[in-house]
Structure 1
Amino acid sequence: MEEPKIIKNPEVFEEYFIPTRILHREDQLMGIRNDLKPLLSGKKARNIVLYGCPGTGKTCIAKYVVDELRKEFPALYAYVNCWKEESGFKILYNISKNFSSSFIQRKGISKDELLDIIERKIQGIQGIVILDEFDKLSDERILYDLLSLSGITLILISNKPNALQWFDPRIRSRLSSADIIDFPLYKTEEILDILKDRREWGLIPGTVTVSQLERIAGASEGDARKGIEILRIASIEAENRDLDKITDDVIEKSIPKVPDTQKHKLDALNPYQKLILKVLNSKPMDSGNLFSELQSLSEKQGLERIVDRTFRKYMERLVNLGLVRASGKGRWRKYSKS
């Protein structure tokens, strides 16, 4: 088998990869460590809410600190991405599956039974649950149920600082003492340091220059994940061309390939959000009429009806993505396609 010329460890560039050292997030690291530290002495830890734009290190650092803690303390642990597993059943099933060493039959089991399994598993031992993209939850009751379990510490992750705003007041009350930690965009020089680190662990020495990494860092717009993805694509392209080094033209060709396009945004929408855009394709509409139209179309397509709070969360997401424009307030709020 031919020896690789560029990439020595492809895992370094994968989204799930957790580095052995964390750069330029010292305050966030210390905050999460301090919040979880009581677990080491058998006390209840503090719930945590992490927010910041995509690619600012939220998920990576949360997993890093939990892995670090579990080397000293035998806590149960589950990670769930609520964008992919947004229903209450799927979330509880994933948590119970991660907490249990035995097989759990998915078919025929209820949410209450899954909660019972989780509660039994945390008797005498603490559990840590990371809910990534928690504002995508379709059933916020699940969050209330998990907060009711004294042996569970939640780490909630969102791109939005106001993610808790639309949740039930009882949930907000239970999270009133949570530590809210901000992850700002990385500076260009900070992304450069991260890319140098990934270069050291993932690429063969001498295959990419500092000036090329500076070009990638500048194109990353504060998003470390974007920068790492550009470097990954450039590395693969160089190997496909049978090059010994990554060239400048390969770097330039790789930058537009990063999935940050309108199509990528549309592909990431759930069925309800896609229906909303379909309705707004014809004409602008006020909030009330849009909600009614969405309910009608949902029923025709065999989707469950959603509550008003969920509708508002979906609209906020579409506005944040730049796919929908909003004007006015309250019942007079009007939406149109961007």
Structure 2
Amino acid sequence: MIQNARVLQPEFVPRDVVHRTHEVTTLSAALDPVTDGQKGEVSFLHGPSGAGKTCIARYITEQLQESVLDLNTQYVNCWEDYSRFKTLYRVLEGIDRTLDIHRQSTPRDELLDRLRDYDGPPYVVILDEVDQLEDKRVLYELHRTRKLTLVLIANQEAGLFEPLNERLTSRLRTATRIQFDRYTVDELVSILEPRVRWGLQEDVVTTEQLEWIADAAAGDARVGIEVLRVAARRTTQRGLDTIPDEVLREAVSEAKSEIRQRNVGKLTADQRILYEIVTELGEVPPSTLYEEYRARADDPKSDRMVRNYLQKMERYNLVRAEGENRGRTYCSVV
């Protein structure tokens, strides 16, 4: 049944993208100076999870690599590489400048010096989940690097700009902003159709079933693709030739659970503490949550940073907030 499992993976970047013409055109224009060996404009892609931000950013950089003879690119997931050292290391890794760097002993300033010395071809760096950076001064340092162009990705604009100092904010405020909205059911179907065509045998799934998947995904392409992948896997395990409706229904909860577990695996140490507290208590008011967090964390972050962490986990369906102001509580998502 499965002919090409790769196209059913969430990180797969298709050769053609649909329903994002404006976003593709805008980002292409911002990066166009790179084709002449110059530094492009800083771009900021924002919108809900599964709206195509990462896919479009990687799609455009791959297109650039095909048209520009000398070009370096690098993708950094700042949820995983959230410290200043890790971010700089990953950026240097994209231009082969990590030789002799030791994660335990090399000073961070040495990484920055190596980056400042860079004088190679244009370099496009995608910083995904950029709001997760612990020290956002690294954005200023990268912005000042010669020939390095930043593509920033986050769920919300406020999550990136609110904690920044005035000097950095003034530079990033001029970034090309590209807003991504959730996909409609019809748009999600047309995203799933080529993946079915490339990844599965013919007539395995019907158009009506794809519409059902798209509706269940609620505008989130990651969920829709994961449901399709899980359903195909379950059907193959059962030795069937087509995907039954009952398998699709079972695949929805399993797909969302697998996505949630992957997101849990990306949590920082402080976020994981918060997640464990909410999971243990089931329902907890902010005051109790903050107090318990401070008791468990070695280096507790500020209340504002904790709120940012909780908002991030809400957007990725790891915790749920109920009520407002003093009546607010945080609940675990089962």
TM-score, with normalisation over the residues of structure 1? 0.85
Residue ranges of structure 1 left out of the alignment (5+ in a row): 1-5
Whole-Å Cα distance in 1 between the matches of residues 178 and 217 of structure 2?
Answer: 23
Q: Displacement of 1:131 after TM fit?
A: 0.6
1:239-258 to 2 correspondence within 5 Å? 239-258=236-255
1-side partners of 2:122 and 2:259: how far apart? 42
Cα offset, 1:20, TM superposition: 0.6
Local SS of the residue matching 1:138: coil
**Could you say if the C-alpha distance between residues 208 and 105 of structure 1 is closer, same or farther in structure 2, counting changes exceeding 3 Å?**
same
How has the CA–CA distance of structure 1 residues 253 and 120 changed in structure 2, closer, same or farther, with 3 Å as cutoff?
A: same
**Counterpart residue type for residue 138 of structure 1:** E
Q: Which residue number corresponds to residue 56 of structure 2?
A: 61
- 1:270 corresponds to which letter in structure 2? T
Q: TM-score, normalised by structure 2?
A: 0.86
8 Å Cα contact 2:130/2:153 also seen in 1: yes
Superposed counterparts of 1:167-316, under 5 Å: 167-260=164-257, 264=261, 269-276=267-274, 278=277, 281=281, 284-286=285-287, 294-299=293-298, 304-307=299-302, 310-316=305-311
| Contact 1:13-1:198 at 8 Å conserved across structures | yes
Check the 8 A contact 2:122/2:148 in 1, yes or no. yes
Say if 1:12 and 1:87 are closer, same or farther in 2 by CA, change over 3 A. same
Label 1:162 to 1:12 Cα distance change in 2 as closer, same or farther (>3 A): same
Report the alpha carbon displacement of residue 290 of structure 1 after superposing the two structures with TM. Answer: 6.7
Question: Is 2:79–2:267's contact at 8 Å kept on the other side of the alignment?
Answer: no
Question: Per-residue CA shift, 1:127-180, capped at 9, x if unaligned?
Answer: 111111011111212122112223211111111232222222222111021011
Q: Does 1:70 align with 2:65?
A: yes
Give the drift of 1:59: 0.4
Match of 1:12 in 2: 7
CA RMSD for the aligned pairs? 2.7
Structure 1 residues 183 and 292 mapped into 2: Cα distance closer, same or farther (>3 Å)? same
CA distance in 2, matches of 1:147, 1:184: 27
Partner Cα distance (2:249, 2:124) in 1: 42
How far, CA to CA, are the matches of 2:305 and 2:72 in structure 1?
31
Distance 1:262 1:184, change over 3 A: closer
Match of 1:38 in 2: 33
Letter in 1 for 2:133: L
Q: What's the CA shift for 1:258? A: 1.4
Question: Which 10-residue stretch deviates more, 234-243 or 315-324?
Answer: 315-324
- The alpha-carbon distance between structure 1 residues 273 and 323, as it changes in their structure 2 partners (threshold 3 A), is farther
2:150 match: secondary structure: strand
Aligned residues: 322
1:272 partner amino acid: D
Q: Which has the larger radius of gyration?
A: 1
Structure 2 Cα separation of the partners of residues 97 and 261 of structure 1: 30
Q: What's the secondary structure of 1:77's corresponding residue? A: strand
Q: Pick the aligned partner of 1:145 from 123, 141, 144.
A: 141
Shift in Å at residue 21 of structure 1? 0.4
The answer to which of 107-116 and 153-162 deviates more is 107-116
Measure, in 2, the Cα distance between the counterparts of 1:162 and 1:194. Answer: 29
- Supply the distance in 2 between the matched residues of 1:65 and 1:230 (Cα, whole angstroms): 26
Q: Say whether the 8 Å CA contact 1:319–1:326 is kept in structure 2.
A: no
Out of 79, 97, 100, the position equivalent to 2:96 is 100
Using the alignment, how far apart are the partners of 2:210 and 2:42 within structure 1?
A: 37
Shift of 1:296: 4.4
Contact 2:45–2:152 (8 Å) recurs in 1: yes
Amino acid corresponding to residue 28 of structure 1 in structure 2: E
Is the Cα–Cα contact under 8 Å of residues 285 and 334 in structure 1 kept in the other structure? no
- Deviation (angstroms), 1:294: 3.9
> 17-26 vs 310-319, which deviates more?
310-319
Share of identical aligned residues, percent? 33
Conserved? CA contact 1:99–1:118, under 8 Å: no
- Name the CA shift for 1:54/1:145 in 2 (closer, same or farther; >3 Å): same
2: distance between equivalents of 1:258 and 1:335? 29
Q: Which amino acid aligns with 1:61?
A: I
Aligned CA distance change for structure 1 residues 103 and 305 (closer, same or farther; 3 Å): same
3-state DSSP of counterpart to 2:256: coil
Quote the offset at 1:261 in angstroms: 8.5
Return 5+ residue gaps in structure 2 as ranges.
none
The one-letter code matched in structure 2 to 1:118 is: L
